């Protein structure tokens, strides 16, 4: 069967930051893009320049029924799904683990890990059933999938878990031409990363300003991963500000 020329993608956390930048890059590359995020007004802002390229799906990715309904709409509207960028995420207040309320731990796990699982599961189901079969899932791992910041147990734990999800999806997708890779991002200059420019706590306890990079470089990395044929896969890619304090002793 001839592969379709139109490509279809879904981006979670598409209402701002990395998700918005990557959704724009995918749309500019010719994809129709489903935008998933909690707030319709934020999704409308993402889609404002070219609304015909987007499908807006207000979705709380931590809720199984909401995810199921969103991906049902994707199937109905697009007929297939070629790419999922599992990007939605949140962090908790940077406090010592003994002072962290359970509710904050649970909220981070619900969005970062359970949300990624639910969206990957729904995308996998579509990709397995569609003809031609197959597709690609890219998880946003963050460099916290490799090393923690101080007082970041919820976020770091979920991002380490994303690596396990990525590997499992990569293995389980082989029979169905479903590829899965992970994009680990460090200090892309979005609102979430803006505190880096003011100074954040380092491993030695000092407060230091950190280097950042344009979020456009994240979108370029995602496009490279997404553009490969399904016979090839970037299993893990790290894209980060060159001078951020990640490699080496902190």
* Active site amino acids: 155
- Tell me: pLDDT of 3 over 60: no
* Domain 7-240 = CATH 1.25.40.10: no
pLDDT computed for residue 249 by the predictor: 58
What are 61-66's contacts with CB under 8 Å, separation 24+?
Answer: 61/12, 61/36, 61/88, 61/111, 61/115, 61/116, 61/118, 61/119, 62/110, 62/111, 62/114, 62/115, 62/118, 64/118
Residue 103: pLDDT band (50, 70, 90) is very high
pLDDT computed for residue 215 by the predictor: 96
- Tell me: pLDDT of 114 over 70: yes
Mean pLDDT score, 48-55: 97
Q: How much is the mean pLDDT over the chain?
A: 94
pLDDT computed for residue 227 by the predictor: 97
Tens-digit pLDDT profile for residues 189-216:
887 778 888 888 888 888 988 899 999 9
- For the chain, the structural domain boundaries read 7-240
Query: In terms of pTM, does the model score above 0.75?
Result: yes
């Amino acid at each position: 069967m001839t592969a379709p020329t139109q490509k279809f993608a879904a981006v979670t956390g598409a209402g701002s930051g990395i998700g918005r930048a990557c959704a724009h890059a995918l749309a500019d590359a010719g994809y129709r893009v489903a935008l998933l995020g909690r707030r319709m007004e934020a999704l409308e802002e993402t889609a404002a320049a070219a609304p015909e390229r987007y499908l807006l799906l207000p979705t709380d990715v931590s809720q199984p029924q909401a995810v199921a309904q969103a991906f049902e709409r994707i199937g109905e509207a697009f007929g297939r799904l070629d790419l999922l960028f599992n990007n939605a995420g949140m962090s908790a207040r940077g406090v010592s683990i003994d002072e962290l309320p359970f509710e904050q731990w649970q909220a981070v796990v619900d969005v970062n890990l359970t949300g990624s699982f639910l969206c990957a599961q729904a995308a996998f189901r579509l990709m397995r059933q569609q003809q031609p079969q197959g597709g690609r899932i890219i998880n946003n791992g963050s460099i916290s999938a490799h090393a923690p910041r101080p007082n970041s147990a919820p976020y770091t734990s979920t991002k380490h878990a994303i690596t396990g999800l990525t590997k499992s999806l990569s293995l389980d997708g082989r029979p169905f031409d479903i590829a899965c890779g992970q994009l680990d991002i460090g200090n892309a200059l979005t609102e979430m990363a803006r505190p880096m420019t003011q100074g954040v706590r380092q491993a030695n306890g000092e407060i230091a300003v950190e280097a950042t990079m344009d979020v456009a470089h994240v979108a370029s990395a995602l496009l490279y991963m997404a553009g490969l044929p399904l016979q090839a896969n970037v299993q893990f890619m790290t894209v980060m500000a060159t001078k951020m304090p990640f490699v080496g002793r902190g």
